[in-house]
Amino acid sequence: MSDENFMREALRIARNAEGRTSPNPLVGAVIVRDGKIIAEGWHRQAGTPHAEIHALNMAGELSRGATLYVTLEPCSHFGRTPPCASAIVNAGISRVVAAMSDPNPKVSGRGFEILRSAGIEVKVGVLEDEARKLNEVFLKWVTKKLPFVTIKFACSLDGKIATVDGESQWISGEESRKYSHHLRDINDAILIGVGTLLADNPSLTTRLVTGKNPIRVIVDSNARTPLDSKVITDKSAQTIIAMTNNAPIDKVTALKNCGAEIITAGDGERVDLKILMEKLAEREITSVLVEGGGKIHFAMLNENLVDKVLAFIAPKIIGGANALTAVEGSGFAKLSDATHLKNMTTTQLGEDILIGGYIMEE
């Protein structure tokens, strides 16, 4: 088998921990001896052993003289765990093939230096594009100090997210809703505006698939979140309420007393979304799934804070000039100013079609 084939296996097993390693990256490692895989490992959770350590422990003495395939440069520093590069040297690995270097400029290349200084052959760049896609969330967070943001919505064929009377459950089908809950499971946080909270009183939890509940973030400039709303009372997940410094103190205090964490972002009439994203990143929230209404969607797009869009299109036509649409706000006045997507994908989910794409950088 080729280096690409072994690396593809390392990339595959890295995904076993999707949504579980934040703020660390997804990493897979494979040890090969005499052309055969003798050990595998993947990073499971921040603070636990890295992929390389799991693989080395599985291989034991067979590591000596073997080749290690790893999806990311082995770490060279003491963090939550000891450096992997030193463990690889001590295990007697003779060759290391890595998909990509560490994106953190403070440590990039140091792991490879340790390996090469010990006489280990190092090859870098095998399936690098696939590895970067695997860790698009980590790459954004570690290089730009911002979370990776995905806007997700379900709409009819004519772009409506509710009828003229506000009915929205359910526009999409069961398979789409299950996949939406999978998205909640693999993201650190889910974000909505207070308008959606007041209209729907959602739980914002992962119920249709087995998984974890994301941190709930409510954009609520004036602290209008009711104390009896589900995100306050159910205690199923941490709830963060983002507001401005002008929010009424008595309401802020009441929400704090109910267990909500308060983030102040901006002094104006509305929450400064860029500041909010920066503060979420500081809390090691690396990925945010936006499931709000048209106003918050446009605000996020208008501030260039979105990385990816996922639209579940149901085979329904709702109509209504006043029916809500997926993106509202003031809108873009010129087509040249509109948000453009690239790397588009389409997936059939039951009767629905999931259309995905990445925001094209200006």
SS3 37: strand
Active site residue 52: yes
Q: The tokens of 44 are what?
A: 């499971």
Q: How far is CA 285 from the centre of its chain?
A: 9
Closest CA to 67 of 14, 16, 126, 17: 126
Residue 15 DSSP one-character state: G
Q: Are 136 and 294 spatial neighbours (Cβ–Cβ below 8 Å)?
A: no
Tell me which residue of 203, 208, 201 sits closest to 226, measured CA to CA.
201
| Beta carbons within 10 angstroms of residue 243's beta carbon | 27
Residues 6+ apart with CB under 8 A from 351: 173, 314, 315
343-347 CB contacts, 8 Å cutoff, 24+ apart = none
Q: How far apart are CA 20 and CA 24, in angstroms?
A: 9
- Catalytic hit among 9, 18, 52, 130: 52
Catalytic residue numbers, as ranges: 52
